[in-house]
Amino acid sequence: MELCDSIELSQGLAEAVFPDCNLPFRIDDSLLNGPRTTRSQSRCTLKGILCQPPQHWSEANTCRWLNDIGENLRQVHPNVTYTDIYGTVVPIKRVWSSAYSSVYMKQGDANNTNPVPHRKPDIILVDESFNGEISWPQVHALAEVTRTELIKSRTIKDTVYQKSYIMFRSQDNRNFVPSLYFTGEGFFTFNVCDRSGVAYTTTMRVVDHPLVLLRIIAGLIFGHPSVIGYDETIQCGSHGKAHTIRVGGLDYRVQAELFKSTALRRRATRCWSVESTDEHKEGYVMKDCWADARCKQSKSKILKLI
């Protein structure tokens, strides 16, 4: 209901979200057509894998196909890393999982203070290094599969929006949620949901637009956190709760969550009681929200005046 008047077509969405400057390598024909890699005792180009999607689009088959593409990219570009806001070099290795396609995934909040709807994710993108039971705070992106033509499938779109909402509720550092959805006829659509609404591409055939799909998959697997939808100034624990927030080059330790909007759209305000991590250990109330840049007088100016 919140999204009904804020869903827009954006044909250049993949290039806007994952431009070459935000990726560790260029997405072009030379990457698509070589070099070859070993797969199932035969030598295939990346294009050969991309353009031979599973004949039966089950969650497990689609997940295996997506991981084959990721592994091929990883063989061509091994040891991809990024540098976080603290100057630490962090390796990137994300994989797709269909382990929770038939079971409700846990919320991740041990105290259940922020309940979210129960949903079964078709395919999720997670860190390969994650040990333990995966819950919504560990999900980086979504992939959904349907046998219905996407142009006629209202259900899969609503499902993507619902699960995007769950990820916002479960992850304090989430800026936007990227999603892919596939149909059994070999089509795909890319979707991004944030606090202002939803943008999506037209439905494209995999064999006709392999570079577009390759850009999306490469961005999701190898993009640093801000590229795939995270606010890197907010550090969260395994339950998705903020524990450290950086503002103006200084770190503040979260003492308590004071308020968290449950809305998906508009300001989505959150407030925390925080303490500076320097020797002064001063206490503050920190407010985070999506502000409308068109407003003549922003709340930050008003708060400064107060």
Same domain membership, residue 188 and residue 254: no
pLDDT, position 266: 79
Most confident of 107-111, 152-156, 292-296: 292-296
Residue 19: pLDDT above 80? yes
Asked if residue 234 belongs to a domain, the reply is no
pLDDT in tens, 102-144: 777 766 565 556 666 677 778 999 998 877 678 899 999 999 9
Q: How many CA atoms lie within 13 A of 98 on its CB side?
A: 15
Given 176, 202, 228, the domain boundary residue is 228
pLDDT band at 40 (very low <50, low <70, confident <90, very high): very low
User: Which residue is associated with the tokens 């050969």?
Assistant: 48
The verdict on 121 and 257 lying in the same domain is: no
Question: Average pLDDT, stretch 94-98?
Answer: 93
Tokens of 10: 């954006």
Helix, strand, coil abundance in the chain, percent, nearest 5:
25, 30, 45
Asked if residue 96 is part of any domain, the answer here is yes
Let me know if residue 51 belongs to a domain: yes
169 and 124 in a single domain? The answer is yes
Residue 274's pLDDT is what?
97
Task: With beta carbons less than 8 A apart as the criterion, state whether 208 and 202 touch.
Answer: no
On whether both 169 and 259 belong to a single domain, the answer is: no
Question: pLDDT-based confidence at 271, cuts 50/70/90?
Answer: very high
Q: Which domain does 250 fall in, by range?
A: 241-305
- Please indicate, yes or no, if residue 2 is contained in any of the structural domains: no
Looking at residue 27, what is its pLDDT? 94
Kindly state whether residue 56 falls inside one of the protein's structural domains.
yes
Mean pLDDT of the chain: 86
pLDDT of residue 111: 59
Q: Does some domain include residue 233?
A: no
218 plus 281 within the same structural domain: no
Count: domains in the chain: 2
Do 215 and 269 lie in one domain? The reply is no
Q: Are 11 and 54 part of one and the same domain?
A: yes
Q: 145 and 37: one domain?
A: yes
Average pLDDT value for residue range 208-232: 95
Residues 281 and 145 in one domain: no
Q: What is the mean pLDDT of residues 52-68?
A: 90
pLDDT of residue 108: 58
Flag the least confident range among 89-98, 147-156, 186-195, 224-233: 147-156
Single out the residue in 204, 228, 252 at which a domain terminates. Answer: 228
Average pLDDT over residues 153-179: 87
With b for 16 or more beta-carbon neighbours within 10 A and e for fewer, the 260-273 pattern comes to bbeebbeebebbbe
Q: Is residue 84 part of a domain?
A: yes
pLDDT, position 234 = 95
**Which pLDDT score is estimated for 301?**
79
Reading the block at residue 23, the tokens are 């990726």
pLDDT value at position 42? 47
Is pLDDT above 80 for 44?
Answer: no
